[in-house]
Amino acid sequence: MKDVDILITGGTILAMDERGTRIEAGAMAIQGDTIVAMGPTGELDKQFTGRTVLHAANSLIMPGLINGHTHAAMTCFRGMADDLELMTWLNDYIFPVEAKYLNPELAYWGSLLACTEMLKSGTTTFCDMYLFEEETAQAARQAGMRCLLGEGILDFPTNNAKTPAEALAIIRRQIEKWDADPLINVIIAPHSLYTVSPAALRDAKMLADEYQLPYGLHLLETGSERAQLFQRFGRQATEFLKDLGYLTERFLAFHCVAFDHEDIKLFADQGCQVVHTPESNMKLGAGIAPVCAMQEAGLTVGLGTDGCASNNNLDLFQEMDTAAKLQKVKAFDPTVMDAKTVLTMATREGAKALGLAKTTGSLEIGKKADIIILDLNKPHLTPLYNEYSQLVYSAGGADVDTVIINGKVVMRNRRLLTIDEAEVIAKVREIAVRIKSSLPA
């Protein structure tokens, strides 16, 4: 018998690997941060003794979910400016409030609240773009979450950087600080084509190339943005990005609602990645991204929630349900965006989009142990005929019982082990009181 750090036994394993591995009454052995064995419980019980044993009868064992696009600290702005058009929402509410209140304290506690919410709904990895990302890194490290963090680059002064050059200097320090960290990764994140000059975009790409890091931006979130950018550049936005040298396998575009056939073909030919954020796009009236056409063209498409100011939650189970149904409505076809496809977007394809396919996104020997366990002993999850359908159309974040990230149990029996949940909620409520005092009636 071999000792391992964690032995999970008795649950159904849905590995989300390319082979479609499913093991009923399965078991998994974890040593350090890595999955070292998977198989039937009867076999692994004879081979391994766990220092920690997690009994998972009547449970589903699967990879943690991957939130491909969010703004973690914006949990502090949840519900602050709803039912508004995108540019009104940004220019009249979000940017002014950020200018007045966004600081390291808000960024830290807002990010820690986001980590709390994501952990409790089964997300183990997230890709963030915002300001004061060093505070988000500290929050994620405390929570024990895997992440890609992108300090925002904008042409106008922000609370953290007066110029794009200052933002790039901050990012360079973050890259060097977190270089060897097992959980914290850096993405170069100019905000968008309408808030960042071509010169700053080139500088951002040069930094990404220097360290061979992923880089990404908001792209073609609305039809009006598409028209605005065409007028500005004299050609389509994706053609402009190609000429700028942006379209590579390390490029990640968020939203892409207003993509047409030529945009999709260009992205597919260059191997670019996309993150789909259906609920935010719906709430802001941006439209419906042509995700099925993207996938048919061979594009890798992950799934994200966007920030809490435009969603208003970080529950990827809810996002999966919306993503599947929205494409069916768009196509007038109930067979498109089936449950397995959308669950793959939130796991294996999400990891691939973020450049983490060798690390996470599926349960395989040699990969990092990023695992969630769902309690199936619930009325709304009974009976169970098809795990994929149950996860996408019936399950919710509250069904997640246990979360393991990088081989460490961070939630068990729905109790967080790395975060003082009550303290985080209290701190964010204090911050919200200050913000609310200056909002229009």
Domains of the chain: 2-63+368-413 (2.30.40.10), 65-353 (3.20.20.140)
Residues 346, 18, 58: CA angle, nearest 5 degrees:
65
Is the distance from CB of 218 to CB of 254 less than 8 angstroms?
A: yes
pLDDT score for 440: 67
Number of Cβ within a 10 Å radius of residue 1: 8
Asked if 105 and 138 count as a contact pair (C-beta separation under 8 A), the reply is no
Q: HEC string of 364-413?
A: CCCCECCEEEEECCCHHHCCCCCHHHHHHHCCCHHHEEEEEECCEEEEEC
Q: Do the Cβ atoms of 164 and 200 come closer than 8 Å?
A: yes
Q: In the chain, which stretches have pLDDT less than 70?
A: 440-441
* Sequence-ordered list of residues with C-beta below 8 angstroms from that of 314, at least 6 positions apart, any chain: 67, 70, 75, 114, 117, 118, 121, 123, 305, 308
Q: 262-271 b/e with 16+ CB inside 10 Å = b?
A: ebbbbbbeee
Q: How far is CA 391 from CA 11, 26, 292, in A?
A: 15, 18, 20
For residue 123, give the nearest of 145, 143, 139, 104 by alpha carbon: 145
pLDDT digits (tens, 9 = 90+) for 49-66: 999 999 999 999 999 999
Measured in whole angstroms, the distance separating CA 262 from the mean position of its chain's CA atoms is 27
Distance CA 48, CA 30 (A): 10
To the nearest 5 percent, what fractions of the chain are helix, strand and coil? 40, 25, 35
Residue given tokens 């880089």 in the structure block: 215
Write down the residue that tokens 């830290």 correspond to.
Answer: 108
Angle at which helix 133-143 crosses helix 164-177, to 10 degrees, equals 30
Report d(CA 281, CA 289) in Å as an integer: 8
Q: Which helix (H) or strand (E) holds 251?
A: strand 251-255
Average pLDDT of the chain to the nearest whole number? 97
Q: How far apart are CA 189 and CA 127, in angstroms?
A: 10
Helix (H, G, I), strand (E, B) or coil at 204: helix
First to last CA, the chain: 67
The torsion angles phi and psi of 186, rounded to 5 degrees, stand at -115, 140
CB atoms within 10 A of CB 200: 20
How many residues make up the chain in this entry?
A: 441
Question: Taking a C-beta distance cutoff of 8 angstroms, is the pair 281, 44 a contact?
Answer: no
Quote the CA–CA distance of 201 and 221 in Å, as a whole number. Answer: 18
Would you state the pLDDT for residue 103?
Answer: 97
Q: How far apart are CA 192 and CA 117, in angstroms?
A: 27
Q: How does pLDDT run across 180-236, given as a tens digit for each residue?
A: 999 999 999 999 999 999 999 999 999 999 999 999 999 999 999 999 999 999 999
